[in-house]
Chains A and B, each alone.
Chain A
Amino acid sequence: MEPRVIVVTSGKGGVGKTTTTANVSFALAKEGYKVVAVDADIGLRNLDVVMGLENRVVYNFIDVIEGTCRLPQALIRDKRVDNLFLLPAAQTRTKDAVNPEQMIELCNMLKKEDFDFILLDSPAGIEGGFKNAAAGATEALVVTTPEVPSVRDADRIIGLLESMGKNPIRLVINRVKANMVREGEMLDVQDVLDVLAVELIGIVPDDDSVVKSANRGEPLTYGDSSPAAQAFRNIASRLLGNDVPFMKLESQEGLGFFSGLKKLLGF
């Protein structure tokens, strides 16, 4: 299988790029594919901590590019699942430490390691950091939330990705709150698609599990059964070409009484 190189980006910060990269990478690896998740956010790395691998970072991809170490030395194998690796970013460098040509070369080196999927977690923004992250990619996942600033920035980033020739460009709509959508207080999926007009690959409900899993450094798709976990698994499945129907988003309210009672009783 020809390696697929996918950049996960958004424009807007804090919408869920790193969470998406971590969880989709994990889900693909659980399906048996050899996956590397590359943290392309130099200086503000977070993929390592979201994946719970921060204690094992020794080398980063700048070390590889500069020849300080060999690529296998920088790759961190996730022990929880076969065939999942993390290539961390440097924390004490800045985004101008590498250029797009070097990132393309890095992706070529990764392709030679027989990865099926190379996912690049892009930094926020439209400048050098994003351009570096996207340089070696052919496909793109754009993450947005159903909010005006995020969708606006997503539009800009989609325009840039199109002008860079990335194809396909697919959308993940993250942090959808079903009850707010029902009340007409949040843009729904169709609203966002009307505006952005790209292929939808995932709808991820707003879910407290995401915060808890990041706290623990354990991707949801490791074993969690929450709605968000299922949504990320579905994204991985669709990336593999499967036709997975989009989940009906349950309102959080229906579960309110019993979960409230449980909390009261100390469960």
Chain B
Amino acid sequence: MMGILQKLFGRQGSKKAAKERLQIVLIHDRTDISPMLMEELRKDMIDVLSKYMEIDAENIEMDLDKADHSVAFVANIPVVRIKRRA
């Protein structure tokens, strides 16, 4: 009886919830770099790049580009000046 009432009142089958939860959990699973780690990565990148060029550290853009089963780390770093090398 409860089953029929539930169906009559349009309670959705659980599979919809399952699919939505799966899609979300997989986005997180596929890219597992925490914000803390991203920050450390940013600082390290600034240090390394600053050896070769003057960069605009305020305007660095970093992102993890997610596509199916592969992830690409993409960074856009504005360069002010390339340093002279001996």
Contacts and interface: CB of A to CB of B under 8 A. Distances in A.
Interface residues of A, number: 20
Contact of B15 (A152, A158, A184): A184
Chain B contact residues, majority secondary structure = helix
Chain A contact residues, majority secondary structure = helix
Interface string A174-205: 00000001011111100100110100000000
A195 B21 CA distance: 11
B81 interface: no
Interface string B40-55: 0000000000000000
B22 A151 contact: yes
Contacts of B14: 184-185
A187 B29 contact: no
Contacts of B68: 197
B34 interface: no
A155 B13 contact: no
A178 to B, nearest CB: 13
A183 B16 CA distance: 11
B68 to A, nearest CB: 6
A148 B29 contact: no
Contact of A155 (B19, B26, B70): B26
Given A191-B19, A195-B23, A197-B69, 14 more contacts: A148-B18, A148-B22, A151-B22, A152-B25, A155-B26, A155-B69, A158-B69, A162-B69, A183-B13, A184-B14, A185-B14, A187-B18, A191-B15, A195-B26
Closest 4 A/B residue pairs (Cβ): A184-B13, A159-B69, A185-B13, A191-B19
20 contacts: A147-B18, A148-B18, A148-B22, A148-B25, A151-B22, A152-B26, A155-B29, A155-B69, A162-B69, A162-B70, A181-B15, A184-B12, A184-B16, A185-B13, A185-B15, A187-B19, A191-B15, A191-B18, A191-B19, A197-B68
Interface of B: 12-16, 18-19, 21-23, 25-26, 29-30, 68-70
